[in-house]
Amino acid sequence: MKKTKGTKATRARKQPVPPNVRTGLVPRALERAIMDNLYYVQGRVPRTATRNDWYMAVAYTVRDRVLHRWMQTIETYMGSKDKSVSYLSAEFLIGPQLGSNLISLGIYDEVRQAVARLGQNLDELLDQEEEPGLGNGGLGRLAACFVESLATLEILGVGYGIRYEFGIFDQEIRDGWQVEVTDKWLRLGNPWEVPRPEITFVINFGGHTEHFVDHEGRYRVYWIPSRSVRGVACDIAVPGYRVNTVNLLRLWKAEATESFDLGAFNVGDYYGAVDSKVSSENITKVLYPNDEPIQGKRLRLEQQYFFVSCSLQDMIRVHLRRGHDLKDFHEAYAIQLNDTHPSIAVAEMMRLLVDEYSMDWDAAWDITQNTFAYTNHTLLPEALEKWPLPLFAELLPRHLEIILEINRRFLDEVRANGMADDGRIARLSLIDESGERFVRMANLASVGSHAINGVAALHTELLKQDVMRDFYEVYPKKFLNVTNGVTPRRWLVLSNPLLAELITRKIGDLWIRNMERHIKKIERYADDEDFQNDWRRIKHENKVRLASVIDQRTGVEVDPDSLFDIQVKRIHEYKRQHLNVLHVVTLYNRIKKNPQSHVVPRTVIFAGKAAPSYHTAKLVIKLINSVADVINNDADVAGRLKVVFLPDFNVKNAHAIYPAADLSEQISTAGKEASGTGNMKFAMNGALTIGTLDGANIEIREAVGEENFFLFGLTAEEVKRVKSEGYYPMQYAESNDELREVISLLAGGFFSRGDPNLFKPLVDSLLWQDEYLLFADYRSYIECQERIDKAYRDQEKWTKMSILNVARMGTFSSDRSIREYAEKIWDVKKVKITV
Ligand code: NBG
C-alpha cells in the first residue's frame, strides 16, 4: 500500500511545536528567543556580538517572560476593587536585575543551559549588568526589598520614585582617598525599563496664587505657576518569587513641556527653548548623596515635589479609570512615605483634592490622613529634613499656604485638647520659628498620616521618648514599630547559592517563600557532623570567591583560612568604622610586641562610601587605607593580620561580601542606628555578629540567642547618662595603656609617613569630644574581640553558632515586615493573579 501523507492533525503532532519565542520557559524556547532578540533588538549576529549584546539579548528574553505576567496583574487590578499600596520613595537601590528575575521566574538553570548552547557563560553575562544605583544605602535598599516582598506576598503595589540619570557615584580609591566618579549606569542602555511616553503629567513650580470666590460662592485658590516641567513614566517590572504577581516600579523622568518649547520658538528664541529643556531635565539628573547638608538645595526640593506630584496624579488617573469616586481614594490606596523625602505629598494631595477637584477641606483632610502613613528612618536630629521658608514660598507658594492652614488647624486642635504649653506648641509646629524660619517635613508627615512607624523596636521607643515625643503625646495611637527585613531571594538564594542549595537539600525549598516558618528546620542539623562540614566548606568557598574579588580590585592577597572580619556600610562617625580601626591597631601592636604569640589570623575588610562633602568620613577612609598600607607591608604580622578597603560598595559587590563573612561588625553607638539591614544580611549568611545594643541588633540577638551573639558596649540609656554626667574621653585614653599607645601612633604620624597633621582632626575630635563614645566603648570592644578569637578556635562550636544564626533569622525576611505593614497599617490583602 502506498504510503499516504498524514492528516493535518497527525502532521501537527509529528512536527515539533514551535516554541513560543515570547513566553516559553524551556531551554529550547529560551535559546530561540535569545537569538531572536540578539538579531532583532540588538541588531547583531553571534559572530559580531559583544558580551553586552548577549547580556541585552538574554535580558530582553527574561523581560518578555515577566511582561506576560505583568499584563495579567494589571488586567486583574483594573477589573477589581482591591486596595493597593503605593510606596513613595526618593530611592530604590534595586541592584542588578537579571539574576533576581531568573530566580523569581524559576528559570535560572534553563537560561544557563540555553546560554551555554549559544556558547556563552551565564556568570559572565550576569557580571556584565551595570546596576542602577538609585539609592544611597539602607533606606533605598529597604525600598527595593519591600517592593519584591510585596509581589511575593501577592499584594498589589507600585513603588514610585525618580529615574536618576546618574545614581550614587562610583567610588575609586586613589592614594588612599575616596574619589567620586559619576555613575553612568545608562551608558549601554537599560533593558529592564519600559518607557511610557503616554503616561505623563505636568508639574508646576513658582509663581503666585490668586484667591477668589467662584460663582457658587465657594472660596477658591488659583495657583499661577511660573514654570512647568513634564514627568514621564519609566516602568520596571518586579516579579514576585514563583507567583504570577508582577508589581511595578514607576520612576519619573523630567522633560521640558511642549508649551515651553513652542513659546520660545514663536519668538524666535531657539537657544532659550533649548535652555529650558536642559534645565527641566536637570530635575532628575542626579541622586543626592545623603549626609550632605541639604538645606537650601533647591533642586532637591524640586525633585521631591516633582516625583510626588507625578505619582499622586497617576494614582488619581488610575483610580478614576477604574470607575471609582475620588471620595473613596483612601479605600483604593495606602500610601507609604519612605522617610520625609516624599512628605510634600501631604500638601500636594490636599491641593489636588481641594483646588483641582473642588473638594471641601475637611473631606480632603480625612482622605489624606486615612491614605498616608509615614516611616521614620533616623534618630540623628541633624538628619531631619527642613526647608527654609523663603525657598519654599518661592518654589511652592500654594503648598506653603496649605501647610500653614494645616498647621493652624492642627495647633488649634492641640490647644483645644488642653495639651498646649508654650514649648510644646513651638516644637509641634510645622514651622520652625526658633531663628530663620523653616518648614519641618517630619512634622508635616506626622500630622498628615494615620500611622507613624520606626524601623526597629528600640528606634520606635526612642522616637516616642525623644525625637518625636511631643507627637507621641498628642497622638499615642499613631505610633507603632515595624522592624526592617531583607529579601532572602536576593540575599541568600541569589548571592549565596551554595548555602541555599545545602539548606534546600535538607529541608526542601519552602523556606525561600516563607522563611519565618521554615528556615528553623535546619536547627536540628546544628550538631550534625556532615552538615557542619558542608557548612564550613561552603563558607570557605565563599571566602575564596571574595578573596579573588579583593585581589582583582585591590591587589591585596588575603588568606581564606583567616577569620574574615567585615564592616560594610556607609562611612559615618556614628557607625564607628574608626573604632574598628582602633582594634586593628591594637592587634598590630600586640603582635609587634609579642611576635611569637599565637593569634587567630584575621582579615579585616571594610567597604562603604562617604558623602562627598563629609570630610571626617573621607578621612576615616584614608585612615583605613593608611593603616592597611603599613600593616599589609609589615613582615612581622604577615600571615596574621591583613586589612582591606574594598572600593565601591554597591549591591553587586555586596553579593560577594555577605556570604564570605565570619564576623559582622555592627558597632554603632547605641541609640544612633535606626535599624540596620546589613546586620540582617550578614547573620542570614551565617556570620556571627559583634555588636552593640542598637537598632535591630537587639532583636537579632534575641532571635539567635545571646550565646550566639557577641555583645559589647554601653546601652542607649548608659550613653545618655554618661553624656549628661560630663564625658571626658581623654581620661579613658590616659587610663588605658593600649588605647594610649594606639592614639599616640595615630597622632605621631606612624600611619601617615611621619606626618602628624594628617589624622590630627580625627585624633583631636576623639580626645576632646568623642561624640560617639569610641573611647568609652573601647575596652569592652577589645575584650569582646578576644572572646571572638577564643570562640573561633573551636570550629565545631563556631559552626554550630553560625547554623543557629541562620536557622533563627526567619523573622528578618522582608516578607515579615511587609506582612506587618499590610495588617497593621495598610489594611490590604493578597490578590491571586492567574495567567
Ligand atoms: C537608614 C538608617 C538605617 C536603616 C535604614 C532603613 C536613612 C535616613 N536611614 O539604620 O540609618 O536600616 O534607614 O530603615 O538612611
Per-residue pLDDT at 10 exceeds 60? no
Helices 98-105/138-152 angle, 10° precision? 20
Is 695 touching ligand 1 by the criterion CB < 6 Å?
yes
CB of 752 closer than 6 angstroms to any ligand 1 atom = no
Strand partners, 345: none
- In this prediction, residue 289 carries a pLDDT of 84
Closest among 491, 452, 514 to 145, alpha carbons compared: 491
Tell which wins on pLDDT, 279 or 137. 137
The average confidence (pLDDT) of the chain is 94
Q: Which of the four pLDDT bands, split at 50, 70 and 90, describes residue 9?
A: very low
State whether the beta carbon of 676 lies less than 6 angstroms from ligand 1. yes
584 lines ligand 1 (CB under 6 A): no
More confidently predicted of 41 and 15: 41
271 has pLDDT over 90: no
Q: Is the CB of 488 under 6 A from ligand 1?
A: no
Ligand 1, atom 6, residue with closest C-alpha = 139
- Residue 383: per-residue pLDDT: 84
Ranges 111-120, 282-291, 334-343, 528-537: which has the least confidence: 282-291
Pick from 205, 450, 428, 183: which is nearest to 308 by CA?
205
pLDDT per residue over 231-260, tens digit each?
Answer: 999 999 999 999 999 999 999 999 998 765
pLDDT in tens, 131-152: 999 999 999 999 999 999 999 9
Cβ–Cβ < 8 Å for 188, 529: no
Residue 459 CA: nearest ligand 1 atom is 10
Task: Give residue 292's pLDDT.
Answer: 65
Which ligand 1 atom sits nearest the alpha carbon of residue 677?
A: 12
Give the whole-angstrom CA distance, residue 625 versus residue 622: 5
CA of 312 to the centre of ligand 1 (A): 25
The Cα-based distances of 129 to 53, 491, 565, 649 in angstroms read 11, 18, 28, 16
What is the pLDDT confidence band of residue 486, given thresholds at 50, 70 and 90? very high
For the beta carbon of residue 485, count every other beta carbon within 10 angstroms.
29
Catalytic residue among 83, 464, 575, 816: 575
**C-beta of residue 774 within 8 angstroms of C-beta of residue 579:** yes
Residue 533 CB neighbour total at 10 angstroms:
12
Q: How far apart are CA 705 and CA 641, in angstroms?
A: 30
Q: What is the pLDDT of residue 293?
A: 64
Which three-class secondary structure state does DSSP give residue 453? strand
Residue nearest to atom 15 of ligand 1 (CA): 139
1 — pLDDT class (breaks 50, 70, 90):
very low
Residue of the CA atom closest to atom 3 of ligand 1: 676
Are 621 and 645 within 8 A, CB to CB? yes
pLDDT of residue 4: 44
Is 13 annotated as catalytic? no
| Residue 224 Cα to ligand 1 middle (Å) | 38
Nearest one of 304, 315, 333 to 399, comparing CA atoms: 304
Q: Which of 93, 294, 377, 568 to mutate to test the pocket of ligand 1 (most atoms within 8 A of CB)?
A: 377
Average pLDDT over residues 796-824: 98
Nearest to 158, CA basis, from 369, 377, 318: 318
Check pocket membership of 385 for ligand 1, CB cut-off 6 A: no
DSSP 55-117: HHHHHHHHHHHHHHHHHHHHHHHHTS---EEEEE-S-B----SHHHHHHHHT-HHHHHHHHHH
Residue 484 near ligand 1, beta carbon < 6 Å: yes
pLDDT at 7: 47
Q: What is the pLDDT of residue 258?
A: 72
Do 87 and 160 contact (CB within 8 A), yes or no? yes
Tell me how far apart the alpha carbons of residues 605 and 175 are, in angstroms, rounded to a whole number. 18
pLDDT band with cut points at 50, 70 and 90 for residue 609: very high
Q: By mean pLDDT, which of 201-205, 288-292, 544-548, 751-755 is the weakest?
A: 288-292
Bridge partners, 235 (sequence order): 194, 250
Which residue, by CA, sits nearest to atom 13 of ligand 1?
139
Residue 265 is predicted with a pLDDT of 57
Q: How does pLDDT run across 781-793, given as a tens digit for each residue? A: 999 999 999 999 9
Q: Is residue 351 lining ligand 1, measured as CB closer than 6 Å? A: no
Ligand 1 contact via 142 beta carbon (within 6 Å): yes
Q: Which of 83, 490, 570, 609 is catalytic?
A: 570
Least confident of 157-171, 248-262, 456-470: 248-262
Please work out whether the CB of residue 139 comes within 6 Å of at least one atom of ligand 1. Answer: yes
455 lines ligand 1 (CB under 6 A): yes
Q: Would you give the DSSP letter of residue 339?
A: S
Whole-number Å distance, alpha carbon 138 to ligand 1 midpoint, is 5
Q: Is 440 a catalytic residue?
A: no
CB 588 within 8 A of CB 606: no
Instruction: Give the span between the Cα atoms of 630 and 422, in whole angstroms.
Output: 57
Residue 372 Cα to ligand 1 middle (Å): 20
- The residues, ordered by sequence, that sit 6+ positions from 807 with a Cβ below 8 Å of its Cβ are 519, 520, 521, 522, 523, 526
Q: Is the CB of 675 under 6 A from ligand 1?
A: yes
Would residue 583 be called left, alpha or beta, if left means φ above 0 and alpha means ψ between -120 and 50 degrees?
A: alpha
570 catalytically annotated: yes
Ligand 1 midpoint to CA 139 (Å): 5
C-beta 674 within 6 A of ligand 1 = yes
CA-wise closest residue to 430 among 450, 411, 458, 412: 411
Residue 834: per-residue pLDDT:
87
Strand order in the sheet with 438-440: 386-388, 438-440, 431-432
Establish whether 575 is a catalytic residue: yes
Report the nearest-CA residue for atom 12 of ligand 1: 676
Which of the listed residues 338, 675, 697 should we mutate to test ligand 1's pocket, taking the one with most ligand atoms within 8 A of CB? 675
Q: Which of 294, 378, 385, 575 for a ligand 1 pocket mutation test, highest count of atoms within 8 Å of Cβ?
A: 378
Reply yes or no on whether 8 is catalytic.
no
Q: Encode pLDDT of 35-50 as tens digits.
A: 999 999 999 999 999 9
Q: In 429-526, which ranges are continuous DSSP H helix?
A: 441-448, 457-462, 469-474, 488, 497-507, 510-513, 515-518
Cβ of 378 below 6 Å from ligand 1 = yes
Mean local confidence (pLDDT), 529-541: 98
Contact present, 691 and 701 (Cβ < 8 Å)? yes
**d(CA 284, ligand 1 centre) in Å:** 23
Regarding the beta carbon of 379 and ligand 1, being less than 6 Å apart is answered no
683 with 809: CB under 8 angstroms?
Answer: yes
Whether residue 312 has pLDDT greater than 80: yes
Least confident segment among 96-110, 177-191, 291-305: 291-305
Q: What pLDDT band is residue 12 in, cutting at 50, 70 and 90?
A: very low
**Residue 5's pLDDT is what?**
45
Cα(379) to centroid(ligand 1), Å: 9
Which of the following is catalytic: 112, 377, 478, 578?
Answer: 377
Tell me how far the alpha carbon of residue 690 lies from the centroid of ligand 1, in angstroms: 19
Given the CA of residue 375, which atom of ligand 1 is nearest to it? 14
Q: How far is the CA of 376 from the centre of ligand 1 (A)?
A: 9
677 Cβ below 6 A of ligand 1: yes
> Is 211 known to be catalytic?
no
From the CA of 141, how far away is ligand 1's center (Å)?
9
Distance between Cα 90 and ligand 1 center (Å): 13
User: Each residue of 684-700: pLDDT tens digit?
Assistant: 999 999 999 999 999 99
Interval between CA 548 and ligand 1 midpoint (Å) = 30
Residue from 69, 40, 72, 70 nearest 53 by CA: 40
